[in-house]
């Protein structure tokens, strides 16, 4: 029903906007024709985790945001009908094909005898291992935890992605903070902040206030997620910057100052400027800081000539091969290189790093 709404645009903007450049119109057509297994094969040619990305990608600013049918995408052409639900269909293809017995065809793979250690079983590591395995290189994946998925498993909340997609792991209740009956203030304007807002609502918080230091138009998170959060009862305070968490032995509130947007910074985003004398205290029982995530560079990097930038991110560019670090035998990708981003960009970088490794090994 949805798949056959695709116009099959000559120059599909959705493909360009998708970080892994999925062959979207092609697999939509295959689904329409009932050729599900072929659609699954094609989908896995570009994406190692399509059933995950179909669920958790911010499609409104990626593939679906670029769909010609999108009402605010391309003006008159779209006619206001709304984008094809690309993410839903991507998820459906893999899940349904798998249920019906589809498995990736590895029969043509010829073992090269090469072996690569992949550190981290998050989306980047899994994307890398996928491409290596399909090219006859044996990936051995190491992780500090005993389950795969990385932040997919331990970060993304259940309402966005059922954990069975990644693993069948029940985490002990005490691992979570219970927001029931609490006045929650969430600080930040990205997708992680929206997850915290919406999870708090689901835990029956008494109130959820989200404070962000820029205005709504300049927030980094997905517009759809903000809309969902508003609908569910989250109150937003725009142009507010936190300066202090207040309380005597326990959290009692958060001190905010009002901001105005100043000139754009080096990346083109307008810088918040504090309005003098604008302090206010918002009462809170729980404050969630949902910004400022940093990579965690390892002490052994230096001994192995793996260079990092000032933000602690691994530098994996300007070398001979894609995603190669200053140590030619070490490649890197995902949040460790980009900083906190998305599952799909991590998958992309892991896959590209694998191509870099294949080139380094002379197997491209
Ligand atoms: C709360 C939250 C919500 C999010 N929501 C979304 C969303 O809705 N959509 C979306 O696309 N993205 C979302 N993200 C971002 C997304 O989860 C990450 O961008 C993505 O998981 C990055 O993948 P990665 O493989 O680079 O890193 P990670 O997922 O962090 O995986 C790294 C892996 O390496 C392992 N590791 C690290 N160091 C070592 C070591 N020294 N030895 C062995 N193993 C090690 C870790 O255990 C982990 O398994 C969210 C993130 C958070 C925190
Ligand atoms: S991977 Fe993400 S951006 Fe690409 S088609 Fe799927 S849902 Fe859209």
Mean per-residue pLDDT of the chain: 90
Task: Transcribe 247-291 into DSSP letters.
Answer: -SSS--EEEEEEEEEEEE-TTSPEEEEEPTT--EEEE-SEEEE--
Span 77-104, average pLDDT: 88
CA distance 163 to 189: 25
Q: For the CA atoms of the chain, what is the radius of gyration?
A: 22
> Is the confidence at residue 194, as pLDDT, over 80?
yes
Collapsed DSSP state (helix, strand, coil) of residue 141: strand
Ligand 1 close to Cβ of residue 195 (< 6 A) = yes
> Is the confidence at residue 168, as pLDDT, over 50?
no
> Is the confidence at residue 170, as pLDDT, over 80?
no
What is the percent of the chain where pLDDT is above 70? 92
> Is the confidence at residue 167, as pLDDT, over 70?
no
Nearest CA to ligand 2 atom 8: 63
Nearest to 255 by CA among 263, 247, 246: 246
Question: Tokens at residue 280, please?
Answer: 């206010």
Enclosing H/E stretch for 336: helix 335-338
**What residue ranges do the domains of the chain occupy?**
3-99, 115-153+294-360, 182-284
Model confidence at 76, in pLDDT bands (50, 70, 90)?
Answer: very low
Predicted local confidence at residue 165, as pLDDT: 61
The CA-atom distances, in angstroms, between 196 and each of 8, 189, 289, 344 are: 38, 11, 9, 21
CATH superfamily of 3-99: Alpha-helical ferredoxin (1.10.1060.10)
Is the four-CA dihedral 30, 53, 67, 268 of positive or negative sign? negative
Nearest CA to ligand 2 atom 1: 53
Ligand 2 close to Cβ of residue 26 (< 6 A) = no
Q: Which fold has domain 182-284?
A: FAD/NAD(P)-binding domain (3.50.50)
CA distance 332 to 336: 7
Model confidence at 3, in pLDDT bands (50, 70, 90)?
Answer: confident
Predicted local confidence at residue 78, as pLDDT: 47
Q: What is the per-residue pLDDT across 93-138, written as a single tens digit (0 to 9) for each?
A: 999 999 999 999 999 999 999 999 999 999 999 999 999 999 999 9
Is the four-CA dihedral 357, 360, 362, 364 of positive or negative sign? positive
Q: Are 241 and 272 in contact (CB under 8 A)?
A: yes
Atom of ligand 2 nearest to the CA of 17: 3
> Is the confidence at residue 266, as pLDDT, over 50?
yes
**Torsion angle defined by CA atoms of residues 194, 197, 202 and 208, in that order, rounded to the nearest 10 degrees:** -150
> Is the confidence at residue 172, as pLDDT, over 50?
no
Nearest to 127 by CA among 66, 184, 217, 44: 44
Same CATH topology for 3-99 and 182-284: the answer is: no
Nearest to 234 by CA among 193, 276, 271: 193
ipTM > 0.95 (yes/no) = yes
Task: Check residues 154 and 344 and name the one with the higher pLDDT.
Answer: 344
CATH superfamily of 115-153+294-360: FAD/NAD(P)-binding domain (3.50.50.60)
Q: What is the per-residue pLDDT across 208-222, written as a single tens digit (0 to 9) for each?
A: 999 999 999 888 888
97 CB neighbour count, 10 Å cutoff: 21
Cα(192) to centroid(ligand 2), Å? 19
Residue with tokens 């989250």: 234
Nearest CA to ligand 1 atom 13: 342
Predicted local confidence at residue 71, as pLDDT: 59
Ligand 1 close to Cβ of residue 176 (< 6 A) = no
Q: Are 196 and 176 in contact (CB under 8 A)?
A: no
What is the percent of the chain where pLDDT is above 90? 73
β-strands 270-274, 240-246: how paired?
unpaired
Nearest ligand for residue 351 CA: 1
Cα(54) to centroid(ligand 2), Å? 6
Cα(152) to centroid(ligand 1), Å? 6
Dihedral-angle region of residue 164 (phi above 0 means left; psi in -120 to 50 means alpha; beta otherwise): alpha
Is the four-CA dihedral 173, 174, 175, 177 of positive or negative sign? positive
Q: List 256's β-bridge partners, or say none.
A: 242, 280
């Amino acid at each position: 029903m949805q798949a056959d709404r695709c116009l099959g645009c000559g120059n599909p903007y959705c493909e360009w906007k998708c970080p892994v450049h999925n062959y979207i119109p092609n697999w939509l057509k295959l689904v329409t024709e009932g050729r599900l297994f072929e659609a699954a094969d094609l989908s896995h040619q570009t994406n190692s985790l399509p059933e995950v990305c179909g669920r958790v990608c911010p499609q409104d600013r990626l593939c679906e945001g670029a769909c010609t049918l999108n009402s605010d995408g391309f003006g008159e052409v779209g006619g206001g009908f709304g984008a094809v639900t690309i993410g839903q269909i991507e998820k459906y293809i893999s899940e349904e094909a798998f249920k019906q017995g589809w498995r990736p065809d590895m029969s043509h793979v010829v073992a090269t005898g090469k072996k690569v250690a992949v550190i981290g079983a998050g989306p980047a590591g899994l994307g890398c291992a996928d491409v290596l395995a399909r090219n006859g290189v044996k990936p051995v994946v190491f992780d500090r935890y005993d389950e795969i998925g990385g932040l997919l498993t331990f970060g993304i909340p259940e309402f966005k992605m059922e954990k069975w997609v990644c693993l069948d792991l029940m985490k002990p209740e005490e691992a979570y903070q219970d927001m029931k009956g609490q006045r929650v203030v969430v600080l930040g304007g990205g997708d992680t902040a929206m997850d915290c807002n919406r999870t708090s609502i689901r835990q029956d918080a008494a109130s959820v206030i989200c404070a962000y230091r820029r205005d709504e138009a300049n927030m980094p998170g997905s517009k759809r997620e903000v809309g969902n959060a508003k609908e569910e009862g989250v109150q937003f305070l725009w142009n507010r910057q936190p300066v202090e968490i207040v309380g005597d032995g326990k959290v009692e509130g958060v001190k905010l100052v009002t901001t105005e947007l100043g000139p754009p910074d080096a990346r083109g985003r307008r810088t918040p400027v504090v309005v003098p004398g604008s302090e206010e205290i918002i009462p809170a029982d729980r404050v969630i800081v949902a910004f400022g995530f940093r990579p965690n560079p390892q002490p052994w990097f230096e001994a192995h000539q793996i260079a990092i930038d000032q933000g602690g991110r691994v530098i994996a560019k300007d070398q001979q091969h894609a995603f190669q670090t200053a140590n030619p035998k070490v490649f890197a990708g995902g949040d460790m290189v980009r900083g906190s981003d998305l599952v799909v960009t991590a998958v992309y970088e892991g896959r590209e790093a694998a191509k870099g490794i294949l080139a380094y090994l002379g197997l491209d």
